[in-house]
Structure 1
């Protein structure tokens, strides 16, 4: 189970990291207008959180054999096919929800600071 969670975390973290990097690059491009950069980053992080929530909702129903987690597991670490769907889908769902929370927190921070900048200046 620990190996399944490790692979799931690595898989979701990589995808989320690329999305975060794209958002950060756009925010740097808008750095001349800090309020706009933060607002844009916040909105894009909200979109990322929604996408991750949708993936979490679908994870228990996605065929486990087509997931990166299943492909990375060696034969000895794979659960039996009778419980594999529940185990892999459940772990992926939890990891997607965790990363959605990270994106939501980043969105709240970006939008909150953007609001404060607009309010104060």
Structure 2
């Protein structure tokens, strides 16, 4: 169970990290206007949060658990029987996706707050 949880965390952080990298590139492209840059970052993080939330809520609908990234990262010796692995992987991935969705939403709120206060501070 501990190995599956670690792999679920790695899988979600990897996917979220690539999304955040794309958002960072957009923010760097709009760096000429810091408030706009923060708004773009907030919007992007909100999209990531929504995607993770939707995926986490619907993860139990996956038909084949053998096609998940967590299952693929497990070695042959570590893989439990499918009847046992399915609920373990689904619960681990759902928990990680929902937790990271909340993180992304908090980052979006922070970026939005910065985008609102930045023009006032730069006057």
TM interval, shorter chain, is over 0.9
1:45 is aligned to 45
Question: Structure 1 stretches (4+) deviating beyond 6 angstroms?
Answer: none
For 2:110, the equivalent position in structure 1 comes to 109
CA displacement at 1:119 relative to structure 2: 4.7
Report the counterpart of residue 97 of structure 2 in structure 1: 96
Output the CA distance in 2 between the equivalents of 1:84 and 1:108: 36
5+ residue gaps, structure 1, are: none
Q: Distance in 1 between matches of 2:33 and 2:75?
A: 49
Cα distance in 1 for partners of 2:98, 2:118 equals 30
CA–CA distance in structure 1, aligned partners of residues 74 and 67 of structure 2: 12
Q: Which runs of 5+ in 2 are unaligned?
A: none
> 1-side partners of 2:78 and 2:60: how far apart?
19
